[in-house]
Amino acid sequence: MHALLWMIPAFPLASAAILAFFGKRISHRAAAFIGTASIGLSALVAIFMAAGFLRSTPDSHAWVQTLWTWMGVGDFRPEIAFYYDPVALIMTLVITFVGFLIHLYSVEYMRGDEGFSRFFAYMNLFVAAMLILVLANNLLVLYVGWEGVGLCSFLLLGVWYKDPANVRAANKAFLVTRIGDTAFAIGLFLLATHLGTLDIQELMRRATAQWPAGSGIAIAAAALLLGGAVGKSAQLPLQTWLPDAMAGPTPTSALIHAATMVTAGVYLIARTNVLFTLAPPVQFAVALIGGATMLMAAFSAIAQHDIKRVLAYSTMSQIGYMFMALGLGAWSAALFHFMTHAFFKALLFLAAGVVIQAMHHEQDMFRMGGLRFELPLAFWSFIIGGSALAGLPLITAGFFSKDLILWQAWAGPNGNGGFWIAGLLGAMLTSFYTYRLILLVFYGPEEREVSHRPGFCVIIPLVTLCALSIVGGYVDTPPDFGGAPIFSDFLGSVLPALKQFHVGPITELSTALCASASFAIGFGFAYILYAPWRPRTRREDPLLRLWHAGWGVDWLYDRLFVMPFQFLVHRTGSDVIDAIYTGIAKLADSAARALRVTQNGRVRWYATGIAAGFVVLFGIAIFVR
Amino acid sequence: MLYLAVSLFALGLIGLLTRRNLIFTLMCIEVMLNASGLAFVAGSYRWGRPDGQIMFLFILAMAAAEVSVGLALFLQFHRRAPELDSDSASRMRG
């Protein structure tokens, strides 16, 4: 069975190659078919594999397929190998399934676009790279996928490259994530030189054996890996690229900048959890970064006008929850939230795409309104996806996953009351900005007429994701609500199990009740401030403006890094070393000008030149010798 | 004999550099070639070896070829320009 493992990433990769080489020669219909069917096939294989894995789980809880040895340098022999365990199983299922739905959606969303087959080629390449990332048995192969998804993110942001704003966003996303990637690469060098291997399982074994907990080297390695994760997952302090990344096509935002790629950092930390357990300060830093990003992004989301930017900040905030869970040692809670988040955030983005298309590519929420009768599908998608995001108690997936994180924020190995309160505050803000969005877009007076209604290819993904956003949570319910922790148990073979480490006044039930209360408070505030009958005026307020600009981090980085750099560039533009090289060029130029005079076209001049040259050479030969 | 060869060569060179008519140019080149041929023959006579004479045969063949090509070029050139002035060829830029 596990011999088929390579096929999961191979289908999208092959399709990407076909579309890249023959994309111009085949029709849009064929390109759409190839692009979508390859992901569909890959999803089928993934389901097949998952079924087989569940039916006959091997004793080691993992299947390993070694394809070939990549290179052999002394003892360092990284292999191209895939590793399939419960974590990889969940990741592949989510990626292929959500990826398939988003591809299907893009068939309609991108219809008639100039770069149609190019778009599908990039999307397929992205899915292939992401699958390689999650299936890699080896940090080096993982890094290939890691860079691959970064590249595809860059390419997909630049699909509409004729608009300079998109190109700027693509460059920014690429450069900012590059900072993290560099840290990650240095981390890999450190691990490879100190432990002699990059095979993840072997690495974890050797790390536990050789490095005492809290040793400097373990802290350095974990911190460098964290740097990579922070860049890719848009956490503090490298979060600035994600809001700008909304310049890309909406399906791209849904697939890459919400459901899959940005959670690669979460996956990386969960995968190397042993290393982070060996470095408690770094693990605590993960929790702090997650918590801070979660709150900061939630405040920013409150002040946004652009529908996609609200969702972008909300994505940052939700990944902040995942990081917080990772930092608190609630590994499986983070992955659970990853899964439900992939469903409801993809749903929200796709529904936002429907709204944007219907509004002639208008993205300002204050210019929308009253769409609930015009676009009932998008409305219900937003209600379901938004409620899942906000954590509507008991019926939505988001409630269960967030509740697990909140409970672990108190009860987990590193939990304390501060994280618990921060989490609840975040939940309240989430509920507020979600319903603010829904009230602004779907209620109130109708602002303009609808130009485009969703077709078949859009309805299927939306309905499927709606269903998943509701039932996705029932795979792991807390003891007080049925109590079936299937998901955590399933991951228990790979990740340390969730236990109650802190017994105290806060219990599972009270957490759930407080989460429900913060949901209700957020909803109530949103309803009071943005009620349908209220006039829709943008509030101008220094604080709101600060939040709107994402706490001014962009401004700060501009001052701190970009402007000094440009100043240096400007100053060193004409320094001494440069002058030497320009001087050489100028000399050659003027010499050419001078010598050009001798090319006058008169034969006798040339003959004179030859004769004179001969005399000079002859003289040198006779007298100088 | 070498002095004769050198003076002939100098005559040819001066003629080449001073005369503008292409026919004269060609004739001057012939004179220079023959001067060098004479030098070869003189050397061959001095050392009693045949190499110089063989070399003169080569020069002769080359001179014949050169004259034929040169004359053909001059014919073509004459169709474009009224007189055979070598400096007027400087108008052929390209």
Q: A623 vs chain B: nearest CA distance in angstroms? A: 20
**Which of A600, A601, A608 has its CB closest to that of B17?**
A608
Q: Measured between CB atoms, does B42 come within 8 Å of chain A?
A: no
Angle, alpha carbons A270-A275-A279 (nearest 5°): 115
Q: What is the mean pLDDT of residues A291-316?
A: 88
Q: What is the mean pLDDT of residues A74-101?
A: 86
Q: Measured between CB atoms, does B17 come within 8 Å of chain A?
A: yes
| CB burial readout A234-250, b (16+ within 10 A) else e | bbbebbbbbbbbbbbbb
Q: What's the pLDDT band for A519 if we cut at 50, 70, 90? A: confident
pLDDT at site A371? 77
Q: Which two tokens stand for residue B58?
A: 């080569």
With tokens 């130009």, the residue in question is A451
**Which of A603, A607, A611 has its CB closest to that of B89?**
A603
Q: Which two tokens stand for residue B12?
A: 């040819």
Mutate to test the interface with B, among A596, A603, A605 (most CBs of B within 10 A): A603
Per-position DSSP letters for B32-79, written without gaps between them: HHHHHHHHHHHHHHHHT-SHHHHHHHHHHHHHHHHHHHHHHHHHHHHH
> In this complex, do A601 and B91 lie within 8 Å of one another by their Cβ atoms?
yes
Q: What is the mean pLDDT of residues A563-569?
A: 84
Q: What is the pLDDT of residues A142-169, one digit of tens each?
A: 999 999 998 988 888 888 888 888 888 8
Chain B residues close to A607, C-beta within 8 Å: 16-17
The yes-or-no verdict on residue A28 having pLDDT over 50 is yes
pLDDT at site A481? 63
Crossing angle between the packed helical segments A116-135 and A7-22, to the nearest 10 degrees: 160
A69-78, A216-225, A335-344, B52-61: range with lowest mean pLDDT:
A69-78
Distance CA B57, CA B37 (A): 9
Amino acid at A572: T
Distance CA A183, CA A228 (A): 6
Distance CA A312, CA A430 (A): 12
The yes-or-no verdict on residue A317 having pLDDT over 80 is yes
> In this complex, do A604 and B92 lie within 8 Å of one another by their Cβ atoms?
no
The yes-or-no verdict on residue A505 having pLDDT over 70 is no
Smallest Cα–Cα separation from A345: which of A451, A468, A241?
A468
The length of chain B, given as a count of residues: 94
Q: What is the pTM for the complete model shown?
A: 0.77
A14-23, A408-417, A583-592, B45-54: range with lowest mean pLDDT:
A408-417
Q: What's the pLDDT band for B90 if we cut at 50, 70, 90? A: low
Smallest Cα–Cα separation from B77: which of B56, B92, B67, B64?
B92
Mutate to test the interface with B, among A597, A602, A608, A618 (most CBs of B within 10 A): A602
Q: What's the pLDDT band for A620 if we cut at 50, 70, 90? A: very high
Q: Measured between CB atoms, does B79 come within 8 Å of chain A?
A: no
* Residues of chain A above pLDDT 70, percent: 95
Residues 6+ apart with CB under 8 A from A570: none
Q: Which phi-psi region, left, alpha or beta, contains residue A294 (left: φ > 0; alpha: ψ -120 to 50)?
A: alpha
The yes-or-no verdict on residue A116 having pLDDT over 90 is no
Rg from Cα positions in chain A: 29
Question: Residue B9: closest CA among chain A residues belongs to which residue?
Answer: A611
DSSP, collapsed to helix, strand or coil, labels residue B21 as strand
pLDDT at site B89? 63
A64-68, A95-99, A216-220: range with lowest mean pLDDT:
A64-68
DSSP, collapsed to helix, strand or coil, labels residue A125 as helix
**Which of A601, A607, A608 has its CB closest to that of B90?**
A601
pLDDT at site A412? 73
Q: What is the mean pLDDT of residues A52-62?
A: 78
The yes-or-no verdict on residue A12 having pLDDT over 50 is yes
pLDDT at site B91? 62
Dihedral of alpha carbons A437, A443, A449, A454, sign: positive
Question: Residue A611: closest CA among chain B residues belongs to which residue?
Answer: B13
| A412, A329 Cβ separation under 8 angstroms | yes
pLDDT at site A377? 85
pLDDT at site A499? 67
Distance CA A371, CA A378 (A): 9
Rg from Cα positions in chain B: 16
Q: At A516, give phi and psi (nearest 5°).
A: -65, -40
Q: What is the mean pLDDT of residues A303-317?
A: 88
Residues of chain A with a CB closer than 8 angstroms to some CB in chain B: 600-604, 607-608, 611
> In this complex, do A608 and B91 lie within 8 Å of one another by their Cβ atoms?
no
Per-position DSSP letters for A273-339, written without gaps between them: HHHHHH-HHHHHHHHHHHHHHHHHHHHHHHT--BHHHHHHHHHHHHHHHHHHHHHTT-HHHHHHHHH
Q: Which two tokens stand for residue A57?
A: 């789980």
The yes-or-no verdict on residue A353 having pLDDT over 80 is yes
Question: Residue B19: closest CA among chain A residues belongs to which residue?
Answer: A604
Element (H, E) at A98: helix A86-109
> In this complex, do B87 and A602 lie within 8 Å of one another by their Cβ atoms?
yes
Q: At A136, give phi and psi (nearest 5°).
A: -60, 140
Angle, alpha carbons B29-B33-B37 (nearest 5°): 165
pLDDT at site B65? 92
The yes-or-no verdict on residue A588 having pLDDT over 90 is yes
Q: B41 vs chain A: nearest CA distance in angstroms? A: 22
Distance CA A466, CA A470 (A): 7
Q: Which two tokens stand for residue A50?
A: 């998952």
Question: Residue A607: closest CA among chain B residues belongs to which residue?
Answer: B17
Distance CA A402, CA A400 (A): 6
Pick A530 or A388 by higher pLDDT. Answer: A388
DSSP, collapsed to helix, strand or coil, labels residue B22 as helix
Mutate to test the interface with A, among B16, B20, B25, B88 (most CBs of A within 10 A): B16
pLDDT at site B88? 65
Q: What's the pLDDT band for A590 if we cut at 50, 70, 90? A: very high
How large is the ipTM? 0.74
| A251, A102 Cβ separation under 8 angstroms | yes
| B61, B20 Cβ separation under 8 angstroms | no
Q: What is the mean pLDDT of residues A71-82?
A: 80
pLDDT at site A580? 87
pLDDT at site A356? 85
The yes-or-no verdict on residue B93 having pLDDT over 60 is no
Residues 6+ apart with CB under 8 A from A426: A291, A294, A295, A298, A317, A320, A321
With tokens 């988001």, the residue in question is A398
**Which of A600, A607, A611 has its CB closest to that of B90?**
A600
Q: What's the pLDDT band for B57 if we cut at 50, 70, 90? A: very high
The yes-or-no verdict on residue A489 having pLDDT over 80 is no
CB pairs A-B closer than 8 Å: 25
Q: What's the pLDDT band for B94 if we cut at 50, 70, 90? A: very low
The yes-or-no verdict on residue A552 having pLDDT over 60 is yes
Q: What is the mean pLDDT of residues A478-499?
A: 69
Q: What is the mean pLDDT of residues A68-89?
A: 82
pLDDT at site A480? 61
SS (H, E, C) A189-251: HHHHHHHCCCEHHHHHHHHHHHCCCCCHHHHHHHHHHHHHHHHHCCCCCCCCHHHHHHHCCHH
Distance CA B69, CA B66 (A): 5
Q: What's the pLDDT band for A455 if we cut at 50, 70, 90? A: confident
Q: Measured between CB atoms, does B87 come within 8 Å of chain A?
A: yes
The yes-or-no verdict on residue A609 having pLDDT over 90 is no
Distance CA A105, CA A251 (A): 7
